[in-house]
Amino acid sequence: MPRNLVNNNQHNSDCVGLSQFSLVGRVAIVTGASSGLGVQISRALSEAGADVILAARRKEKLANAAEELNCKFVVCDVSTTDGRKFLIDEVINLHGKIDILINNAGTSSTMPAENESEEGFRAVLETNLLAPFELSKMAAHYMLPQGSGSIINIASVLGLVGNLRIPDAAYSSSKGGLINLTRELAAQWSSRGVRVNAVAPGYFESEMTATMFDNNKSIDWIARHDPMGRPGRPGELNGAVIFLASDASSYVTGQVLAVDGGWTSV
């Protein structure tokens, strides 16, 4: 057996335990962090010991979330080049490094495809696909030289399967693209210490899915089609994110972890 393989096995056996999930001393950026899943993810990272920087456009909501979580925040629009550069520059000025990037900011354009405009479709791609690529590239300029980093893209089950109830070609296309972008960046960077993975949530209540949760008909529809018979509950995404952000997933890259109650399994 090659000597380096023996050493790696020895190292891994020494690391087994809950300490693998610790994020103490690591700097994490979470975009779209002013509400919903972004706040929940930020709270989980902070509780695991990370220094979390919340990023979003809405200053008042962002400031309230940052105060609640005792985190720093950066007001920016990641759908723009200037907004993305401002965010990365601010984090480097604050901490001098980036260890974790959570690309969570997203938008949708729910309508039948035959009514979708080119401008509307493009706007969704700007936020959901181009922004994660550009932010990942900017973060990688700091992660690659340090030989470590974890990038987690918040995709969707609608990047894996179609959906009859919610017509949104732009959103589904952007999330499908984000999933394969995850694989490509992982292939390019993982040998240099930077892992890239994605989480594909099923139906969780948030601002974007508010219309799905404001009536019993939609909730019943989710219950009938999801093998667990219910939508996701607050906090049920956190374990997947902490796993992928931490050393517990040190040999995991280019993967898509569906947290969907089995939605994509049937």
Instruction: Indicate which residues carry an active-site annotation.
Output: 171
Nearest CA to 219 out of 150, 157, 152, 165 is that of 165
Judged on CB neighbours under 10 Å (0-12, 13-18, 19+), 54 is buried
Nearest CA to 170 out of 80, 109, 104 is that of 109
Q: Which two tokens stand for residue 39?
A: 């706040």
φ/ψ of residue 79, rounded to 5: -80, -5
Q: Which two tokens stand for residue 161?
A: 């399967």
Q: Is 62 helix (H, G, I), strand (E, B) or coil?
A: helix
- Give the span between the Cα atoms of 99 and 122, in whole angstroms: 30
